[in-house]
Structure 1
Amino acid sequence: MEYRRHEQPGCGGCFLLLLLLIFLSGGAPLLFEFLGLLVFIVLFLVLSSIAAFWAFTYYVKRQVSAYEKSQTETHNTFVSLLVNILVKIAQVDGKVTRDEVKTIRHFFQYNLRYSQNQLFWIKELIKEALASTVSLDSLLQEFRQKFAYEPRLILLELIYQVLYSNEAVSQAEMQLAENIGNYLGISAYDQRSIAAKYKAGFRTAARAEEVSEDKYYAILGLEPGAGFADIKAAYRKLSMQYHPDKVGHLGEEFKKVAEEKMKEINNAYEFLKKKYGQ
């Protein structure tokens, strides 16, 4: 039998003993004076906490308002719809967990490199989105009406980024992403180009070299072994669609997303060019 040390006794009755000593040494007036001081301290701490919370909330709202005013209406609308759509995707199973909200916040913090003031804004947008009763179909319809084809491609790219930031992506989530692409009017080729890249990145295989080569084809929306003429045509098409200037009006962070996409497209094309000796 393992020996267990006995814990030191607590002092649950120490406060009562203190009150008794005060009463015996100074009588009732001193006791009431002590209790009054105690009540004052408690009230002061409670009110101070409320005041600090109000001051922080006021500061956050001012920062959010100032940031919104510094951005274009197009940028604010794009981000607002993006957040609402991401929250609706998280609600597909009927509830939103803390981890899902955390994933959305981390996406803006690490993928889009948002500052603290920008994250305050995102937190407010998430809160509003969680309370919103607007359907996903209505949000997608609004997005399609307000934005051209290239911003819609960026939206779908970002949706896949968020989905694949989790350890596992369910079949239901993949199907929902495909449905969103269809609703936005994104061609089957472009959807395949976006989705296949992430699937190839997650796939495990015996030889990493094979996975890498498949991924380059996937980035260009092609099946492994496609001819160089198809590779060249795909490269030209994607280079036009993802040119950063076509999404620059959305904001610098989304222009950078397009730039990163262009780097991937260029790297894939250069790799396959060398393979075909071009």
Structure 2
Amino acid sequence: MIKWLAAVVGFAIRGFSGAILGFLFGSFIDSLSGSGRSNTVFKDMTRQKVSPADFELNLLSLCSIVIKADGSVNQRELDYVRQYFVATYGKDKANAIFRTFNDINKKHEISAQRICTFLNQRTRYEVRLQLLHFLFGIAQADGSIRTPEVNKIREISGYLMVSMRDFESIMAMFVKSGDDAYKILEIDKTATNDEIKKAYRTMAKKYHPDRVNTENEAIKKGAEEKFKEVQKAYEQLQQERGII
């Protein structure tokens, strides 16, 4: 299969890391080759953990989709992504990731659904929640989040099999309205004080950074930020309702 040939070539050029990138690139080609083979790529690696190289390229691909969602490429959003990759992986590795991504992007259209299917089989639900948090951070990098960007992230959320209530909770941290605190805690405005306390305990446990078992700094940071937002939402309702 193409992916194995690409892995061998990658190994010959850049060693083990090249083999991983070659396998990923070959998998993209295999998945586009038709004849019902798109699912084969994922069945071959079911239950295996996503490698750092796989995650980096797929994360960058989703970033690209969000940046292009409103029909224009904003420099501040590009800088946000590049600064993250440089800070996390170092300049040399970040540049290598971008070069590999550009090579793939030139030859094949990026499919959010295919990328999310890949990630669904290799990442925990908590990691995918923080991934959405990071994508909203990109959309907000230019100072405002536009409707096409929200719609695209909502589409990605669906592909990642994230519940609508979880999506709305994350969105409420970036797109403000009159009942953000309730949305963040995933409860209705009619909730009792006891229900608010219970919701806070559930959300604090659900989004505690310790639950996100990943080495990716963007995901870790998203977990910390989201946990803080849950705490702020509860404190706001405590003050508004006089909850002790």
Task: Give the TM bin, normalised by the shorter chain.
Answer: 0.5 to 0.7
Aligned-partner SS, 1:143: helix
Offset from partner CA, 1:50-102 (integer Å, 9 cap, x none): xxxxxxxxxxx99xx69x9xxx9633322221111121334457x764x35x5
Matched, 1:235 2:222: no
Choose which of 241, 252, 262 in structure 1 pairs with 2:227. 262
What per-residue deviation string (whole Å, max 9, x for no partner) do you get for residues 84-134 of structure 1?
1121334457x764x35x523423526994343454245335424532334
- Give the structure with the larger helix fraction: 1
Q: What amino acid does structure 1 have at the position aligned with 2:225?
A: E
If the length of structure 1 is used for normalisation, what is the TM-score? 0.59
Contact in 1 for aligned 2:130/2:223 (Cα 8 Å): yes
SS in 1 for 2:196: helix
Matched residues in 2 for 1:78 and 1:189: separation?
25
Structure of greater Rg = 1
Tell me the residue number matched to 1:206.
Answer: none
Q: Which amino acid aligns with 2:57?
A: S
Distance in 2 separating the partners of 1:130 and 1:145: 23
Shift of 1:170: 3.1
Contact 1:78-1:250 at 8 Å conserved across structures: no
Gapped regions of structure 1 (runs ≥ 5): 1-60, 204-210
In structure 1, what is the equivalent of residue 122 of structure 2? Answer: 146
2:165 alignment counterpart: 189
* Alignment counterpart, residue 273 of structure 1, candidates 233, 238, 242: 238
Give the equivalent residue in structure 2 for 1:80. 57
SS at the partner of 1:169?
Answer: coil
1:104 aligns with 2:78: yes
Report the AA paired with residue 83 of structure 2.
Q
* Paired position in structure 2 for 1:217: 182
For 2:85 and 2:181, the matched residues in 1 are separated by 21
Does structure 2 retain, via aligned residues, the 8 Å contact 1:84–1:129? no
Distance 2:54 2:165 in 1: 27
Q: Within 5 A, what are the aligned runs for 1:1-278?
A: 74-92=51-69, 97=73, 99=74, 103-109=77-83, 113-114=87-88, 115-117=90-92, 119-131=94-106, 132-200=108-176, 214-222=179-187, 226-275=191-240, 276-278=242-244
Cα 1:221/1:197, change in 2 over 3 Å:
farther
CA separation in 2, counterparts of 1:178 and 1:272?
Answer: 27
SS at match of 2:175: helix
Task: Describe the superposition over 1:249-272 as per-residue Cα deviations: whole angstroms up to 9, x where unpaired.
Answer: 233442232122212222322332
The aligned amino acid for 1:107 is: V
Corresponding residue for residue 34 of structure 1: none
Q: CA RMSD in A?
A: 3.4
Moved more, 115-124 or 179-188: 115-124
Query: What is the count of residue pairs matched by the alignment?
Result: 199
Structure 2: 5+ residue stretches without partners: 1-12, 21-48
What displacement does 1:141 show? 1.2
Q: Which amino acid aligns with 2:122?
A: K
Q: Secondary structure at the match of 1:191?
A: helix
TM-score of the superposition, structure 2-length normalised?
0.66
Are the equivalent residues in 1 in contact too, given 2:172–2:183 (CA < 8 A)? yes
| SS of equivalent residue, structure 1 residue 173 | helix
Residue 249 and residue 144 in structure 1: after superposition, are their counterparts in 2 closer, same or farther (change >3 A)? same
Secondary structure of 1:146's counterpart equals coil
Please give the secondary structure, in 1, of the residue aligned with 2:172. helix
